[in-house]
Amino acid sequence: LEKAHVQFRSTMPLSIIQYPHPTLRVRSKPIRRVDQELRDLVAQMLELMYQAEGVGLAANQVNVPLRLFVANPSGQPDEGEELVLINPELERPKGNETSQEGCLSLPGLYGQVKRPKSVRVSAYDLSGNPIERVVDGFLARVIQHENDHINGVLFFDRMSNESRRDLDERLAEMETVFRSKQNAGGISEDAQLIADLDSWYDKYC
Ligand code: ZN
């Protein structure tokens, strides 16, 4: 049974989960080991991110509850800087800037989000090398948005009540669509979706 499950998981095409999938609200757990399956997962996440014309993608957006995200502020596979951050920690936030954000798990929704302008990032790459740097501007925004994901936070959580109100209708629509898929049996119930995450914790945490 376990072997069949692993087989299924590794051959299943990865897809981006959408709001209000409960894994988006999970506080992801630190990664204790990196293996070929995890490296393959990262490669697939990058591919998905570029296909979706995104600039960042967190592991829990592909239903993997581990502290990991990928980013490339250029959004192009052969341009800019491709980042894979494992167990990231953000410190020393400085300044403030408000700018528009969107999210691959909330297609078509955009809003103004206020965030620190620069932040210090500590993380590991896929080879276990430490990454330590201060980022600012758009890259800092991308990294903070993705780091929020692995803590179960979505960009609209950080919007003012006033601008959030513009999104309420569309969020309610997405909830209706998701719940009706669950009622029709096309998506498991929330409790099952959360229980399914245990195999990732068993393997990497
Ligand atoms: Zn996002």
Expressed in angstroms and rounded, the spacing between residue 4 Cα and the centre of ligand 1 is 31
Cα distances (angstroms) measured from residue 141 to each of 2, 30, 96, 107, 118: 40, 22, 11, 18, 8
Residues 6+ apart with CB under 8 A from 100: 110, 111, 112, 113
How far, in Å, CA of 51 to CA of 19, rounded?
Answer: 19
| Mean pLDDT value across residues 8-14 | 61
Residues in the chain: 205
Residue with tokens 């999210």: 103
Whole-number Å distance, alpha carbon 2 to ligand 1 midpoint, is: 31
> What's the pLDDT at 12?
60
pLDDT value at position 13? 78
1 CA to centre of ligand 1 in angstroms: 34
The verdict on whether 37 is a catalytic residue reads no
Residue 7 has pLDDT above 70, yes or no: no
- Catalytic: which of 37, 53, 81, 146? 146
Residue pLDDT, tens place only, 140-153: 999 999 999 999 99
What's the pLDDT at 8?
A: 46
Measure 67 CA to ligand 1 centroid, in angstroms. 14
Please state the pTM of the whole predicted model: 0.93
Summarised one tens digit per residue, pLDDT across range 164-183 is 999 999 999 999 999 999 99
Q: List the one residue out of 131, 133, 139 whose CA is nearest residue 115.
A: 139
